[in-house]
Structures are given as structure tokens and as C-alpha cells.
Amino acid sequence: MARTRWEWWNTVAEARQWLCLGMIHAEVPFDIYVAALKDLERQFAREARTPAERLHLKRLTAEDALNAAFTMERPWKDFGPWLRRIRRLGFPTLWSRHHISCIYVQSLPNFREQAKDAFAMLADTERRVRRLRPERSSRQQMLDGIEHARREAALYGVKPPENLGRLSPRASGR
């Protein structure tokens, strides 16, 4: 009997999770980590039924590689290409955009020259989050995450450029 798509996506998620956990535990080098992610993507891309499924697999690979670059405190030459890739592919959810924006800003001590772009991306994400209804719990969780990312960057002396700072209290509804 054929698996349902829901079951297939659960298999994809479980395989990605085990692969990432295993590689983190084994402390494999970044290049090997990325190669393993690409291999897993290719394996599941053969089973994907639609272009949308293949696109989503590419997004997941890019997000996992970016997370690894963040966790391993990799330089821009490793972080940047994956960030550009996920931007090109598009963010599947606002949570994904939020997560990527926050780790980009928190990674700035490794590549300070990217501060303007990182804080612009974070400000764009914040505008999108603020458009959510105030009663949604995810809204406040994301706003807290954005504030945390700013504080983490500030700990290393990385601050947003003056013209990109936070939304004014009046504009932000505070």
C-alpha cells in the first residue's frame, strides 16, 4: 500500500532530524554536514511528486545548512550563500523568515560588514510580525525573539545602523 503524502513528509522530517542530530553529535565539519544534507535532499527529491514538493525540500536543506553555519559560527563565505539561496527560494512561513532573520543578526559578530542588510531583514520581519493580530500568541513570541536577537548582537557591539533602527514607539503600537 502506498504511503500518504502526510506519512511521506513525516519520513522526510524524521530523516532530516536524525541526520542533523547525528552530525551535530559527531561534530562533523561544515562541508561534510552540507554534503550530507544535499544527499538527503536528492534522495527525497526523487520521491517528490510535484515541483512544489521539490522546492520545499530545497528550502529545508537551505534552512538546515544555514542553521549549521550559525551553530558552528561559520564565516560569511559559508553563511552567505545559504542565506542568499533561502531568500531566492522564498520563506515557507513567517516563522521561518523570523528564525532566519534572528540567526542572521546573531551571527553578525562573525561578519560585521553585513550589519545593514541583517538589520534591514530583521526590521522587515518585525513589520510583518506586527501585522499579525495582537491576540495571536505567536506574534509576541516572535517579537520577543527579535528583541533577543538585537540584544545578542549588541552584546558584541553590533548595533543597527541609525536609519534602520527599531520602529518608533508610535509606529509599533507600543
Same domain? For 97 and 171 the reply is yes
pLDDT in tens, 80-95: 999 999 999 999 999 9
* Residue 54 structural domain: 1-75
pLDDT over 90 for what percent of the chain?
Answer: 83
Average pLDDT, the chain: 91
Contacts with 36 (C-beta within 8 Å, 6 or more apart), sequence order: 19, 23, 28
Q: How confident is the model at residue 2 (pLDDT cuts 50, 70, 90)?
A: low
Per the rule left: phi > 0, alpha: psi between -120 and 50, beta: everything else, 165 is: beta
Structural domain includes residue 86: no
Same domain? For 172 and 113 the reply is yes
CA separation for the pair 60, 66 (Å, rounded) = 10
Over range 111-138, report the average pLDDT: 96
pLDDT at 153 over 60: yes
Tally of domains in the chain: 2
Same domain? For 42 and 102 the reply is no
Query: Is 61 in contact with 36 (CB distance < 8 Å)?
Result: no
Q: How high is the pLDDT of residue 169?
A: 40
- Give the pTM: 0.86
Structural domain includes residue 84: no
Same domain? For 106 and 154 the reply is yes
